[in-house]
Amino acid sequence: MKVLVTGHQGFIGAVMVPTLLNAGHDVVGLDTELYADCPFGSASEPDIASIRADIRDVSVDELSGFDAVVHLAALSNDPLGDLDAELTYDINDHATVRLARLARSAGVGRFLFSSSCSNYGAAGDTLLDEDAPFNPVTPYGESKVRAEGGLLELANDEFSPVLLRSATAYGVSSRLRCDVVLNNLTAWAVATGKVMLKSDGTPWRPIVHIEDICRAFLAALEAPRDAVHAQAFNVVRPGENYRISELAAIVEETVPGCAIEFAGSSGPDARNYRVDSSRIAAALPAFQPTWTARDGARELYEAFCENPITLDDIEGWRYRRIGQINKLLGNQRLTPDLRWKP
C-alpha cells in the first residue's frame, strides 16, 4: 500500500515510518518540521520521500495516488492546546477534516486518525469503552472530539475513516518527548534523583508504548474494510490503566537511588479516566501489544543512561513541545498562527 504519514518527524511518527516500511508498505512523509532540531540519541531515521508542508495548506494534488493516510500531525498535548484554543481547533479539528475531505476527493480509501483517550476527560473510576460519553477538559481533548465527528460525516462506500484513540503515549523515539507522564517521571528521576509528581497522583491514566500504537495503526491499515470502517478503537494493552502514583512507584523501583517527591503546587488533575480494550482485541486480532509500564520505565532508564539528559532538556525546549514552540515564536521564526516565516 502507498501510505502518507503526516507528522512523520514527530514522537510517534519517527517510529511509525519504520513500522510501516518493515511491513512492506510504500511510505511518504508530510511534516512542517517544527521539531527538526529536537533529535534524541544517535539512531538514524529512514530515508523516505517527504513533503514539507503545514496540514492546513495541503492540496488535493499532494494526496493523489495514496491508498491510505495515517494522520498523526497535530498540536499534540494540553500545554500546546492551552497556548491558543482557537489555533488548536484550527489545526486539530478544521485542518484534519479538510485534509480528510481532500483525501476522499483524491481517491484515498482509508484515513487513520490519531485520536486520543483524552476525549473521555474527567470520567472517574469507571472502565470506559468506545461508546462512553465524552467529557474533555482541555482544548486538546475537545479538538479531537470535534475532529472525530467531522471525519465520521465523510464516511461513505469509498472512504473509510478509522478513529484510533490512543492512551497516553510513552517510550523512546528519535524525536523524544518528555512532556508525557511516564517519560517525564523517568527523565526527572534520572536527571535529578526525584520522581517529581506535579499532581496529587490519584488520577487514573491509561498508557501505551509508541511501538504498540504503531502496531495498532498497522493492524487497522491492513484489516478488512468491514472490520474498521467508521469505527473508533481505544488503543491500549489490557491492564495498562494506572494511577499516576502507581507509575511514580514503578519509576522509583526502576531508577536506582531516586525518591518520589510532590511539587509544592501539586493538586488533583481534572483528567481522570480508565479505558477498556475489548473492541480492538476483537476487531483487530493482528494487534498484539507487548509493552507494560514497567518495561517502558526500564527502556527509558537505559536510554537516559546511554544519552545523558538534564533538567534543562526536560523542562526546556528540546524535549517539551510547548518549549520548542515558544522558542521558535520568541526567535521570530514562526508567525502567531505557527506557520514558518518566509
Q: How far apart are CA 9 and CA 15, in angstroms?
A: 9
* Domain region containing 201: 2-330
Domain membership of residue 213 (yes or no) is: yes
Q: Cα 167 from chain centroid?
A: 8
Q: What is the pLDDT of residues 162-192, one digit of tens each?
A: 999 999 999 999 999 999 999 999 999 999 9
**Share above pLDDT 70 across residues of the chain, in percent, rounded to a whole number:** 99
Kindly state whether residue 11 falls inside one of the protein's structural domains.
yes
* Banded model confidence at residue 125, pLDDT cuts 50, 70, 90: confident
Tally of domains within the chain: 1
Which helix (H) or strand (E) element contains residue 156? none
Does an H or E element contain 182, and which? helix 181-192
**Its pTM surpasses 0.85:** yes
Q: Is residue 73 part of a domain?
A: yes
Q: How confident is the model at residue 257 (pLDDT cuts 50, 70, 90)?
A: very high
- Is-contact 119 148, C-beta < 8 A? yes
Residue 119 lies in a domain: yes
Whether residue 84 contacts residue 53, with contact meaning beta carbons closer than 8 Å, is answered with no
CA dihedral for 100, 106, 107, 108, sign (positive or negative): negative
Lowest-confidence segment of 66-80, 143-157, 159-173, 290-304 by average pLDDT:
66-80
339 has a pLDDT exceeding 90: yes
Question: Would residue 199 count as lying in a domain?
Answer: yes
| Residue 338 domain flag | no
- Compute the distance between CA of residue 100 and CA of residue 28 in angstroms, rounded to an integer: 17
- Read off the CATH number of the domain in which 34 is found: 3.40.50.720
Query: Is residue 298 included in any domain, yes or no?
Result: yes
As a whole number of angstroms, the distance between CA 63 and CA 67 comes to 9
pLDDT at residue 267 above 80? no
In a domain, 262, yes or no: yes
Lowest mean pLDDT among 85-89, 112-116, 300-304: 85-89
pLDDT tens by residue, 28-69: 999 999 999 999 998 778 999 999 999 999 999 999 999 999
| Structure-block grid coordinates of residue 187 | 527523565
Specify whether the CB–CB gap between 12 and 114 falls below 8 A. Answer: yes
Q: CA 283, CA 301: separation in Å to the nearest integer? A: 34
Decide: residue 106, CB within 10 A, 0-12 exposed, 13-18 middle, 19+ buried: middle
Residues 210-236 have pLDDT tens digits of 999 999 999 999 999 999 999 999 999
pLDDT band at 75 (very low <50, low <70, confident <90, very high): very high
Residue 264 pLDDT > 90, yes or no?
Answer: no
Cell numbers placing 8: 512523520
The CA-atom distances, in angstroms, between 193 and each of 252, 256, 261, 293 are: 9, 8, 10, 19
Counting runs of H as helices and runs of E as strands, what totals does the chain give?
14, 14
